[in-house]
Structures are given as C-alpha cells and as structure tokens.
Amino acid sequence: MRRFAVITLAAAFLAPAAHAAGNPQIAGLQVALRAHGLYLSQIDGIAGPKTAAAVHAFQRKKHLRIGVADVHTRIALGPLGRPLFGSRTLRRGDFGWDVSVLQFLLTKRGAYSGALDGYLGKETAAALKRYQRSLNLSADAVVGPRTLTAIVKRDRVPVRAKTVTVASSSIYVVRTGDSLTSIASRHKTTVAALARANKLDILKPIIIGQRLRIPSAVARAVTVAAVTRPALAPQSVDVRAVLDRWANALGVDVHLVRALAWMESGFQTSIISSAGARGVLQTLPTTREYVETVLAGKPIAHTVDGDVEVGVRYLKHLLDAFNGDERLALAGWYQGERAVRAHGLYNITKPVVANVLALKSRM
C-alpha cells in the first residue's frame, strides 16, 4: 500500500488523472463541516476557497490556530472529524470521517444514492457490497485490506495522513533575475493567474523583494462538471438554521434535533428512502398524516420548512411519551413507539441511537 505523510494539495491535484476528482479525503472534511453548518457547497473533494473558508471559520469558532485542518481541528470537529480513510477496517455500524469518504466514493461510482452522513448503515453496506462485486471482491460489506487496496488504487485515495491541507495560496519573494514568466513556470501557474492574484500590470516590471501571492493548485484545478448527484450537490437551504428555528419554537434540544437530522439525511433535503421517507428528517407519509391530524391539527406545507416542522413535532411527541428520555425517544423514532414499550431497544437500533447521542454533544 502506498503511504503518504501528508495529504497535500499536490496529492490532490498534480496527478493529471486526479484533476477533476480532487482528493476523496477532502470530501470527509467537507461532510464534517456541513454537519457544523459551515459548508453548504458541493461535496467534491476539492480543497477550494469555500472549503478553506469553512475550515478557518470553524477554527476561529473553536479558538484554534487558523490554517490547515490538522489533528486538533479534526478532533474538535467531533465524531465526524476522524479517523481518516484507510486507518481502520470499516464494518457495519461504524461512524466517522472515513465512512463519509467511503460514501462519497460509492456515490461517484453510482453504487450509492443515500445520505453522506458518515454512518455505515444498511444502505451504505448494500452499496459497498455492489461495489465489491463490481471489483470481483468478496461482497462482505467490510473495507478490509483487499477492498481498501482496490479503492486506493482505483480512486487514488491518499492514506496514512496526519494533516489535511486546505491552504489556498502561498507567498513568493521576488529575487534577482526573476520575471513573471520564470516565476509562473517554476510554480506551474500562468502569468495571467499571477497578475490576477496580485493585481499586477504585466507591462510593468516586478521589484526585488516584492511579495507575490502564488495561486494554488486549487485555483488551477479543472472545474467539476455542474451536473452532479444529489448527495454531492450544494445545499440551497441553510438546513441547520431551519432545524434550530423549529427546535426552539417547539422546545426541543437543538443539538438533539441537529444530530437526528444528520443521521437521517446528512442535512440533505431531497433524499427519498426505499420506504418512502422524505426530507431532512426522513419522515414517512404515515408519520406526516399523524402529525397533521393529531399533533398539529392542520395541514403542513410540503417544503423543507414543513418537513422539518413535521419531524420536530413528532420527536417532541416521542420525548413527551417517554418522559424526556432521549434514548427511548430516539429508539421510538427508529423502531416505533409501541415496539420500544413492548421489546425495548432492538440490537439494530442501539448503535444508531448511540451515534445520535454521541453526535449531539458535538453539534
């Protein structure tokens, strides 16, 4: 297996075949930033200016050193901030950055159409099996050595990294004998790009000691096609703000609502499950009917705002039904209120509930 000390912009962009694809590890960073409401752009694996801005905004919020997404930043991101892809064997029920990367790769390969939420649940496991079969591997839904090697080779995923670099430019000090042409050639950019980055008149000479901003590989990367899969698309709605508004309006813990919505949809607004669940909180038509007729006593709009209202109202009902016990309320959400009262938590429900509660403390 090829080893990398650092996931750099060079690793992400300088290999010709990787220009449009970017660095899949960066997709894990973008997913984690989306969970914190700081990144609403396309999940593309490209460490562009919007990704860098989101990282720096998060670092300021957490009083961290502004710069690359180092291990301190990734720890602060919470359960979605680590481990990096390739650092452990992935199995059903795992949660984290590496699962987000896996989901990103499966989505790009057309094997997965679910949420980019960092949880290796039923749908992700089924997609992984399809991908393994396409590679003539044992379809066990486990990313072990053979599957990892195949993915790293096919998708050029840097592994064994300590830092994810998202800096968008560097500084060069002009020396004797330098010209814009020689500087551009040395840094694999163009005179035009240098001029734009530094607001230079290319007809005027540069001065020894002058500091020039060098456009990064991010700025030179091939633009990803505008047509993309829904799971990777940019968000047109600030989902986290909508969740917070309804949580506050109905008196439900905003962190719990955020965590549940993340585990249901990864804050994606257009996902429809195989069972017909829709929206950010993935509520079924029967749940919507119950909320409208019994809990709200009125029709609720079929919009992002309306879908969130339905979900939060139903969660509040479950919390009331179980006397505020979040664990039982979440179990009721996943397996049904009656089933929880009759049988307790199913084994398949326990890890999902545990992950929601773990995420709640970091959102």
Given a cut of 90, whether residue 77 has pLDDT beyond it is yes
Do residues 146 and 173 share a domain? no
Measured CA to CA in angstroms, residue 99 lies from 87, 116, 215 at distances of 11, 9, 32
183 shares its domain with 260: no
The SS3 of residue 211 is strand
The pLDDT of residue 271: 82
**Do the beta carbons of residue 117 and residue 65 sit within 8 Å?**
no
Residues 210, 245 share a domain: no
Phi-psi region of 353 (alpha: psi -120 to 50; beta: other; left: phi over 0): alpha
d(CA 320, CA 175) in angstroms, rounded, equals 70
User: Is residue 225 assigned to a domain?
Assistant: no
Pairing of strands 169-173, 211-215: antiparallel
First to last CA, the chain: 35
pLDDT in tens, 180-213: 888 888 777 788 778 887 888 877 788 888 888 8
Domain final position from 155, 182, 201: 155
Question: What is the model's pLDDT at position 203?
Answer: 75
Same domain, 277 and 354: yes
Q: Read off the pLDDT of each residue in 75-100 and give the average, rounded to a whole number.
A: 95
* CA distances in angstroms from 151 to 107, 145, 266, 347, listed in the order given: 13, 10, 23, 30
* pLDDT score of 217 more than 50: no
Question: CATH number for the domain including 303?
Answer: 1.10.530.10
Quote the pLDDT of residue 178.
84
Contact 31, 116 (CB under 8 A): yes
pLDDT of residue 207: 87
Q: Please check whether residues 271 and 327 belong to one and the same domain.
A: yes
Q: Mean pLDDT throughout 150-177?
A: 72
Distance of alpha carbon 282 from alpha carbon 277, whole angstroms: 5
> Greater confidence, 356 or 2?
356
Percentage of the chain beyond pLDDT 90 is 60
Which amino acid belongs to residue 167?
A
Q: How many domains does the chain have?
A: 3
Question: What pLDDT is attached to residue 219?
Answer: 37
Q: Answer left, alpha or beta for residue 41, where phi above 0 means left and psi between -120 and 50 means alpha.
A: beta
